[in-house]
């Protein structure tokens, strides 16, 4: 509750800072806001409480996810100092919108009532529509923003119909009451099942899982790169936190109904994303497809639905965010120096003149591919263990094969950086930007070496 | 309130459901097949409002106020969403001079 | 009351309305002169194209209005239970309006409310 208020107050403060047009205090204010909120969030650790008439609960689960959302946002905000260096206007507004997005993310990590879930998803999405179009005069940004808006609004409507149908059957929005209803009813009505399917569809739109992923590559490519990094991390963390919370609490007793659906979705997601990623020429699009494939792995944690899942999903989303942010960060630098060329060829020979950038990018890519000593390896490992524990052996074998396929396209990029020749020049790394890249890289490695500390949290 | 509720309950809930699901499907079809962005926005509104209607009907049927409270939230959120959507549309129209979504094909691959 | 009477009433109404228009159209004389084509008592003739684009200012006003006008939806339920809850409800609505006011102030400072 305190964390929620703090992030909202800092967001509004940033809006008013924009009016005074003082560029110097924007970034510090945003960082301070995030740190204060992080402090307030961490203080709630092991102090479960409920707020808003029991419509939201703060437990260790939500605190852990909130902290990782705040961390990711912080790194993105640090990157923004360089990204918006030449932009005179609206920078504080962009940061404020990011904080409002985080506000929405907080709501959906800690909801215990469907109303909160809907409000959270909307508070998360609406600022993102604006952020995706924040390059006002770029047609591509316009297009990405509009597509995102259409798909987002469409998905919200579908999710809403699902919630309504579940309400129609169970006469409650409270998750625990829905769970009781499921346990105490012998013959569940058809609209309840229909509602679950629609909620599943709505969620897979939001977290970009196949077959509802088609908007993702376009939106990720068209949005400003920094915003793409923000969308790819925060939305994914919050989306999966909410996804798991909903399906593990309200609908866990009828898992036999929705697990086959999820099973099909996982197979489709892993297949489509990995094969499509192999064909991509642009790095941004490649990362977009890689993000879809990560959604596939994360769904594996949800389908497992045992005591290992929550920790596995948390570890995976954190590892994924810590890898995605530096990857997009390096992409921003390279793109700026190559006249906004973001093809894989733009990375040719990066290691010769810019070893630091190449190392940061390699660690990020290796983590995404799931190579040992990076966080990505244990992320996949824990998810697979959870899935095997619940008896999804075939599915896990399939996922392992998909992960191996994934290694190919990450190595295409590594190959370009280290082995190919290119007319590379020395790229100057801005200080704050470099700090953000460095910390994320170190954290990725640290998480890979000492995975126990994170996985034992949940 | 009690009288209104019992009056609503006279009509079987299935009728409300059929009406609302029909409206919702019209909205979905509109979003999928219309090419004018404004019409698509209207169709999304139609989807949301059909859900509102269904929520109100369920709420009366179960004699539980929760559903009607949710309707308020949906209305406000929908207004915010449409405001943002319209702004994006105006921005697009300024740069593109059209609201036909067939022009949205720069991003492909 | 059976539904047959309603249907009968509706049918009569429709027939009456259609008949009135159809007969009037059939019997009336149609002679055109330029004065008839003018807008009746609506001031001076328009100049140029009537399909002028609305000023962009309208759109901003409309959006700001749209946002603030739906918030009244929250005040109605509040008003119903105000007496039961008392002071807490008052403080909460004051905070709610305050947040809205912050938004309005922001719109004002951003010159969204000045006519351009």
In a domain, B6, yes or no: yes
> Cβ of C59 and B69 within 8 Å?
no
- What is the maximum span of chain B, computed from C-alpha positions, in angstroms? 59
Partner C contacted by A19 (CB < 8 A): yes
Q: Which domain holds residue B81?
A: 2-100
CB atoms within 10 A of CB A189: 13
In a domain, B105, yes or no: no
pLDDT band at A457 (very low <50, low <70, confident <90, very high): confident
Arithmetic mean of pLDDT, C13-23:
93
- What pLDDT, on a 0 to 100 scale, did the predictor assign at position C75? 87
In a domain, B24, yes or no: yes
- Between positions 56 and 85 of B, the ones with CB within 8 A of C are 69, 72, 75-76, 79-80, 82-83
What rounded mean pLDDT belongs to chain A? 90
CB A305 within 8 A of CB A247: yes
Give the pLDDT confidence of C73-82 residue by residue, as tens digits.
888 888 888 8
Give the pLDDT confidence of A237-267 residue by residue, as tens digits.
999 999 999 999 989 888 899 999 999 999 9
Domain count, chain C: 1
- What pLDDT, on a 0 to 100 scale, did the predictor assign at position C80? 87
pLDDT band at B105 (very low <50, low <70, confident <90, very high): low
Arithmetic mean of pLDDT, C22-51:
74
pLDDT band at B104 (very low <50, low <70, confident <90, very high): low
Domain count, chain B: 1
Q: Which residues of A touch B24 (CB under 8 A)?
A: 157, 161
Arithmetic mean of pLDDT, C38-62:
68
CATH number at residue B59: 1.10.287.3510
What is the percentage of chain A residues whose pLDDT exceeds 70?
A: 100
Arithmetic mean of pLDDT, A336-350:
82
pTM of the model: 0.89
In a domain, B45, yes or no: yes
Å between B92 CA and nearest CA of chain A: 6
Q: Which domain holds residue C75?
A: 3-109
Distance between CA atoms of residues A63 and A69, nearest Å:
10
> Cβ of C63 and B87 within 8 Å?
yes
Q: Is residue B108 pLDDT above 60, yes or no?
A: no
In a domain, C116, yes or no: no
pLDDT band at C41 (very low <50, low <70, confident <90, very high): low
Distance between CA atoms of residues A48 and A61, nearest Å:
10
Arithmetic mean of pLDDT, A266-275:
93
- What pLDDT, on a 0 to 100 scale, did the predictor assign at position C16? 93
Which residues in A370-379 are b (16+ Cβ under 10 Å) and which e? Answer: bbeebbbbbb
In a domain, B23, yes or no: yes
Domain count, chain A: 1
Quote ipTM for the complex.
0.93
Distance between CA atoms of residues A299 and A372, nearest Å:
22
CB atoms within 10 A of CB C69: 10
- By mean pLDDT, which of A179-183, A319-323, A402-406, A427-431 is the weakest? A427-431
CB A375 within 8 A of CB A323: yes
- Between positions 77 and 106 of B, the ones with CB within 8 A of A are 77, 80-81, 84-85, 87-89, 91-92, 95-96, 101, 104, 106
Q: What's the length of chain B?
A: 109
- What pLDDT, on a 0 to 100 scale, did the predictor assign at position A75? 94
What rounded mean pLDDT belongs to chain B? 86
- What pLDDT, on a 0 to 100 scale, did the predictor assign at position B109? 45
* Among chain A residues, CA nearest to C102: A12
Q: Give the CA count within 13 Å in the CB-facing half-sphere of A278.
A: 12
Q: Which residues of A touch C102 (CB under 8 A)?
A: 12
Give the pLDDT confidence of A103-128 residue by residue, as tens digits.
999 999 999 999 999 999 999 999 99
């Amino acid at each position: 509750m305190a964390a929620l208020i703090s992030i909202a107050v800092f967001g509004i403060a940033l809006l008013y800072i924009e009016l005074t047009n003082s560029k110097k205090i924007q970034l510090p204010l945003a960082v301070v806001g995030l740190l204060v909120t992080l402090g307030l969030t961490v203080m709630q650790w092991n102090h479960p409480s409920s707020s808003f008439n029991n419509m939201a609960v703060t437990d260790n689960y939500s605190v852990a996810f909130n902290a990782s959302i705040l961390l990711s946002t912080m790194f993105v905000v640090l990157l923004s100092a360089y990204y918006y260096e030449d932009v005179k206007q609206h920078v504080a507004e962009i940061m404020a919108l990011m904080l409002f997005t985080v506000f929405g993310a907080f709501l959906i990590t800690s909801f215990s009532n469907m109303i909160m879930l809907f409000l959270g998803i909307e508070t998360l999405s609406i600022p993102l529509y604006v952020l995706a179009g924040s390059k006002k005069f770029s047609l591509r940004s316009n297009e990405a923003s509009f597509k995102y808006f259409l798909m987002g609004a469409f998905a919200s409507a579908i999710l809403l119909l699902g919630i309504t149908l579940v309400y129609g059957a169970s006469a409650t929005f409270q998750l625990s009451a829905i769970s009781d209803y499921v346990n105490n009813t012998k013959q569940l009505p058809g609209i309840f099942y229909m509602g679950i399917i629609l909620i599943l569809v709505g969620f897979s739109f939001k977290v970009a899982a196949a077959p509802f992923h088609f908007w993702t590559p376009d939106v990720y490519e068209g949005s400003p790169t920094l915003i793409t990094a923000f969308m790819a991390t925060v939305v994914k963390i919050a989306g999966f936190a909410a996804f798991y919370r909903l399906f593990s609490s309200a609908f866990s007793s009828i898992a036999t109904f929705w697990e086959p659906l999820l099973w099909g979705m996982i197979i489709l997601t892993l297949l489509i994303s990995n094969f499509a990623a192999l064909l991509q020429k642009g790095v941004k699009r490649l990362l977009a497809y890689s993000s879809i494939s990560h959604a596939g792995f994360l769904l594996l944690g949800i389908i497992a639905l045992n005591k290992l899942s929550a920790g596995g999903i948390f570890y995976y989303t954190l590892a994924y965010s810590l890898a995605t942010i530096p990857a997009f960060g390096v992409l921003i630098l390279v793109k700026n120096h190559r006249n906004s060329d973001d093809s894989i060829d733009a990375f040719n020979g990066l290691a010769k003149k810019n070893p630091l950038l190449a190392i940061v990018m390699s660690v990020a890519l290796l983590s995404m591919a799931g190579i040992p000593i990076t966080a990505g390896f244990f992320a996949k490992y824990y998810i697979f263990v959870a899935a095997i524990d619940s008896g999804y052996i075939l599915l896990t074998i399939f996922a392992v094969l998909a992960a191996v396929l994934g290694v190919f396209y990450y190595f295409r990029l590594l190959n370009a950086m280290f082995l190919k020749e290119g007319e590379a020049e020395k790229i100057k790394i801005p200080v704050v930007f470099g700090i953000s890249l460095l910390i994320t890289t170190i954290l990725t490695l640290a998480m890979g070496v000492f995975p126990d500390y994170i996985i034992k949290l949940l | 309130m009690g009288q209104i509720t019992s009056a609503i309950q006279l009509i079987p809930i299935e009728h409300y459901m059929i009406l609302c699901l029909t409206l919702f499907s019209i909205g979905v079809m509109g979003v999928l097949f219309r090419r004018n962005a404004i019409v698509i926005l209207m169709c999304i509104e139609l989807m949301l409002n059909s859900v509102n209607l269904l929520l109100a009907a369920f709420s009366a049927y179960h004699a539980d106020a929760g559903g009607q409270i949710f309707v308020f939230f949906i209305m406000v959120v929908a207004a915010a969403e449409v405001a943002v959507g319209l702004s994006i549309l105006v921005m697009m129209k300024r740069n593109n001079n059209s609201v036909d979504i067939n022009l949205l094909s720069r991003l492909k691959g | 009351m059976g539904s047959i009477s309603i249907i009968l009433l509706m049918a009569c109404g429709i027939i009456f309305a259609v008949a009135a228009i159809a007969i009037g159209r059939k019997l009336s004389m149609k002679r055109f002169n330029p004065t008839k084509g003018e807008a009746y008592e609506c001031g001076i003739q328009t100049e140029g194209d009537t399909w002028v684009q609305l000023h962009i200012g309208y759109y901003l006003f409309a959006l700001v209005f749209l946002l603030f006008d739906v918030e009244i939806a929250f005040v109605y339920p509040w008003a119903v239970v105000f007496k039961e809850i008392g002071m807490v409800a008052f403080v909460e609505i004051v905070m709610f309006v305050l947040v809205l006011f912050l938004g309005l102030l922001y719109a004002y400072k951003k010159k969204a409310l000045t006519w351009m």
